[in-house]
Chains A and B, each alone.
Chain A
Amino acid sequence: MGLSPRSRRPGRGRRGQATVEYILLLSTVALIYTVVIKGFKQFGFTEKMTKQLSGPFARAYQYGHPEARGYDDGGPRNHPRADTQGDNNFRMFINPEVK
Chain B
Amino acid sequence: MRRRRRESGQSTIEFALTMTLLMGFVLFFVHLAFLFAYGNLVHYATFMSARAYLSAGEDPEGQVKRAQTVIIRLLKRSEVNPGVEKYQFVAKGVEGEEIPGMYYSPKAPYDGKDRGFSWLQGIRYKFRATLPMIPLSTGNGGANSLTLTSESWLGREKTRVEVNSSMLKLPGGGRILEDNGM
Bound-state CA distance A37–B135 (Å) is 8
- B143–A53 contact, CB under 8 A? no
The reply to whether A54 and B146 form a contact with Cβ atoms under 8 Å apart is yes
A62 within 8 Å of B by Cβ?
A: yes
Chain B residue nearest to A46 (CB atoms) is B143
- Given A37-B135, A37-B136, A83-B116, also A44-B143 (CB < 8 A): yes
In the complex, A93 has a CB within 8 A of chain B: no
Residue of B nearest to A63 (CB): B151
B-side contacts of A58, CB under 8 Å: 146-149
A6 to B33, CA, bound (A): 64
| Cβ < 8 Å to A, chain B residues 139-170 | 142-144, 146-151
Interface residues of A in 16-58 (CB under 8 A from B): 18, 29, 33, 37, 40-41, 44-47, 49-50, 53-54, 58
A-side interface residues toward B, CB under 8 Å? 11, 18, 29, 33, 37, 40-41, 44-47, 49-50, 53-54, 58, 61-62, 71-72, 81-85
Assuming A11-B2, A58-B147, A84-B116, what are 11 further A-B pairs, CB within 8 angstroms? A29-B17, A40-B136, A41-B136, A46-B142, A46-B144, A50-B144, A50-B146, A58-B148, A61-B39, A62-B148, A71-B120
